[in-house]
Structure 1
Amino acid sequence: MDFKNSTENNEKVDANYNVVPLREAMCKTERRLRRKIDIFVVPTVMLMYLMCFIDRANIGNARLAGFEKDLKLKGYDYNTVLSIFYVGYILFEIPATMCCKIMGPGWFLPLATVGFGACSIATAFVKTRAQVCAVRFLLGIFEAGLMPGCAYYLSRWYRRAEYSFRLGIFFSTVPLSGAFGGLIASGILKLPHLGSLKGWQMIFAIEGIITVAIGLLAFVTMTDRPETARWLTEEQKELAINRVKSERLAQAVLLDRIDATKLKRGFTNPITLATSFIFFLGNVTVLGISFFLPTIIRTIYPSRTTIDQQLLTVPPYIVGALLLLLISGLSWRFDHRQAFIILTGPTVFAGYAIFLATINANIRYAAVFLSASTAFALGVMSNAQVAANVTSDSARNIALGTNAIFGYCGALLATWTYLPWDSPKYMLGNGINLACAATWTIVGIGAAAWMVYDNKKRDERQAAGMEEIVGLSQLEIQDLEFRHPAWRWKL
Structure 2
Amino acid sequence: MSSREEKGPAPAADNVESAPHNEDGGTAHYAAGRGQLATDKYGNPLVQIDPKVEAKLRTKIDWMIVPTVSMLYLFCFIDRANIGNAKIAGLEKDMGMSGYDYNMILSIFYVSYILFEIPSNVCCKWMGPGWFIPIISLGFGITSLGTAFVHTKAQMCAVRFVLGIFEAGMMPGIAYYLSRWYRRSELGFRLALYIVMAPLAGAFGGLLASGILTLDHFGGVHGWRMIFAIEGIITVALSLISFITLTDRPASARWLTPEEQDLAIARVKAERVGTTEVLDGIDKTKLYRGIFNPITLGSAVVFLLNNVTVQGLGFFAPTIVRTIYPDKSTIMQQLYTVPPYVLGAVFTVLFPLISWLADKRQIFMILCAPLMMVGYIMFLATTNLQAQVRYGATFLIASSAFALGPITNAQVSANVLSDTARSSAIGTNVMLGNIGGLISTWSFLPWDTPDYHIGNGLNLATCSTILIVSVLMLLWMKRDNKKRDGRSIEEELAGLSQHQIQDLDWKHPAFRWRP
TM-score normalized with structure 2 length: 0.90
Give the residue type in structure 2 aligned to 1:418. F
Q: Distance in 2 between matches of 1:95 and 1:325?
A: 29
Question: Retained in 2: the 8 A contact 1:346–1:437?
Answer: yes
The aligned residue for residue 15 of structure 1 is: none
Q: Distance in 1 between matches of 2:288 and 2:65?
A: 29
The aligned residue for residue 20 of structure 2 is: none
Give the residue type in structure 1 aligned to 2:462. C
The aligned residue for residue 265 of structure 2 is: 241
TM-score normalized with structure 1 length: 0.95
Task: State how many pairs are aligned.
Answer: 473
Partner deviation per Cα, 1:402-452 (whole Å, 9 max, x = no partner): 001111111000000000000000000000000000001100000000000
What is the DSSP-based 3-state SS (H/G/I as helix, E as strand, rest coil) of the residue aligned with 2:389? helix
Q: Distance in 2 between matches of 1:112 and 1:395?
A: 22
Partner deviation per Cα, 1:259-313 (whole Å, 9 max, x = no partner): 0111111111100001101100000010001100000000000000000000000
Q: Distance in 2 between matches of 1:313 and 1:372?
A: 11
Report whether the alignment pairs 1:55 with 2:79. Answer: yes
What is the DSSP-based 3-state SS (H/G/I as helix, E as strand, rest coil) of the residue aligned with 1:410? helix
**Identity of matched residues, %:** 59
Q: Distance in 2 between matches of 1:5 and 1:119?
A: 46
Q: Distance in 2 between matches of 1:466 and 1:165?
A: 36
Partner deviation per Cα, 1:327-386 (whole Å, 9 max, x = no partner): 010000000000000000000000000000001111000011011110000111100000
Question: Retained in 1: the 8 A contact 2:318–2:333?
Answer: yes
Q: 2:456 aligns with which of 419, 425, 430?
A: 430
What is the DSSP-based 3-state SS (H/G/I as helix, E as strand, rest coil) of the residue aligned with 1:479? helix
Q: Please list, as runs of the form range in 1=range in 2, the aligned pairs for 1:365-376 lying within 5 A after superposition.
A: 365-376=391-402
Give the residue type in structure 2 aligned to 1:363. V
Q: Distance in 1 between matches of 2:480 and 2:331?
A: 54
Give the residue type in structure 1 aligned to 2:54. E
Question: Retained in 2: the 8 A contact 1:86–1:412?
Answer: yes
Q: Distance in 1 between matches of 2:50 and 2:288?
A: 37
Q: CA deviation at 1:3?
A: 4.2
Q: CA deviation at 1:323?
A: 0.8
Partner deviation per Cα, 1:38-66 (whole Å, 9 max, x = no partner): 01000111011111000000000001100
Q: CA deviation at 1:86?
A: 0.5
The aligned residue for residue 441 of structure 2 is: 415
Q: Please list, as runs of the form range in 1=range in 2, the aligned pairs for 1:212-251 lying within 5 A after superposition.
A: 212-251=236-275
The aligned residue for residue 465 of structure 2 is: 439
Question: Retained in 1: the 8 A contact 2:210–2:334?
Answer: yes
Give the residue type in structure 1 aligned to 2:91. F
Q: Distance in 2 between matches of 1:48 and 1:437?
A: 29
The aligned residue for residue 83 of structure 1 is: 107
Closer, same or farther in 2 for the Cα pair 1:243/1:205, shift >3 Å?
A: same
The aligned residue for residue 352 of structure 1 is: 376
Segments of 4+ moved more than 2 angstroms: 1-6
The aligned residue for residue 17 of structure 1 is: none
The aligned residue for residue 145 of structure 1 is: 169
Q: 1:208 aligns with which of 217, 229, 232?
A: 232
Give the residue type in structure 2 aligned to 1:79. N
The aligned residue for residue 12 of structure 1 is: none
The aligned residue for residue 167 of structure 1 is: 191
Partner deviation per Cα, 1:159-214 (whole Å, 9 max, x = no partner): 11111111111110010000000000000000110122111100000000000000
Q: Distance in 2 between matches of 1:468 and 1:483?
A: 10
Give the residue type in structure 2 aligned to 1:340. F
Closer, same or farther in 2 for the Cα pair 1:123/1:334, shift >3 Å?
A: same
The aligned residue for residue 110 of structure 1 is: 134
Q: Distance in 1 between matches of 2:353 and 2:89?
A: 38
Which structure 1 segments of 5+ residues have no match?
Answer: 7-21
What is the DSSP-based 3-state SS (H/G/I as helix, E as strand, rest coil) of the residue aligned with 1:66? helix
Q: Distance in 2 between matches of 1:456 and 1:325?
A: 32
Report whether the alignment pairs 1:298 with 2:322. Answer: yes
Question: Retained in 2: the 8 A contact 1:120–1:207?
Answer: yes
The aligned residue for residue 378 of structure 1 is: 404
Which structure 2 segments of 5+ residues have no match?
Answer: 1-25, 32-46
What is the DSSP-based 3-state SS (H/G/I as helix, E as strand, rest coil) of the residue aligned with 1:304? coil
Give the residue type in structure 2 aligned to 1:191. L
What is the DSSP-based 3-state SS (H/G/I as helix, E as strand, rest coil) of the residue aligned with 2:72? helix
Q: Distance in 2 between matches of 1:382 and 1:2?
A: 33
Q: Distance in 1 between matches of 2:151 and 2:194?
A: 35
Question: Retained in 2: the 8 A contact 1:466–1:486?
Answer: no
Question: Retained in 2: the 8 A contact 1:3–1:246?
Answer: no
Q: Distance in 1 between matches of 2:27 and 2:88?
A: 56
Q: Distance in 1 between matches of 2:151 and 2:405?
A: 35
Question: Retained in 1: the 8 A contact 2:83–2:315?
Answer: yes
Q: Distance in 2 between matches of 1:453 and 1:52?
A: 40
Q: CA deviation at 1:4?
A: 11
Report whether the alignment pairs 1:362 with 2:388. Answer: yes
Q: Distance in 2 between matches of 1:5 and 1:377?
A: 38
Q: Distance in 2 between matches of 1:139 and 1:57?
A: 11
Question: Retained in 1: the 8 A contact 2:29–2:263?
Answer: no
What is the DSSP-based 3-state SS (H/G/I as helix, E as strand, rest coil) of the residue aligned with 2:495? coil
Q: Distance in 2 between matches of 1:185 and 1:468?
A: 60
Give the residue type in structure 2 aligned to 1:252. T
Q: 2:179 aligns with which of 135, 155, 171?
A: 155
Q: CA deviation at 1:219?
A: 0.1
Q: Distance in 2 between matches of 1:227 and 1:477?
A: 25
Partner deviation per Cα, 1:70-100 (whole Å, 9 max, x = no partner): 0001100000000000111111111111110
Q: Distance in 2 between matches of 1:399 and 1:232?
A: 29
Q: 2:305 aligns with which of 281, 291, 294?
A: 281
The aligned residue for residue 136 of structure 1 is: 160
Q: CA deviation at 1:236?
A: 0.3
The aligned residue for residue 458 of structure 1 is: 484
Q: CA deviation at 1:248?
A: 0.8
Q: Distance in 2 between matches of 1:240 and 1:52?
A: 29
Cα RMSD after superposing both structures = 1.4
The aligned residue for residue 19 of structure 2 is: none
Give the residue type in structure 1 aligned to 2:280. D
Question: Retained in 2: the 8 A contact 1:2–1:243?
Answer: no
Report whether the alignment pairs 1:268 with 2:292. Answer: yes
Q: CA deviation at 1:249?
A: 1.3
Q: CA deviation at 1:27?
A: 1.8
Give the residue type in structure 2 aligned to 1:448. L
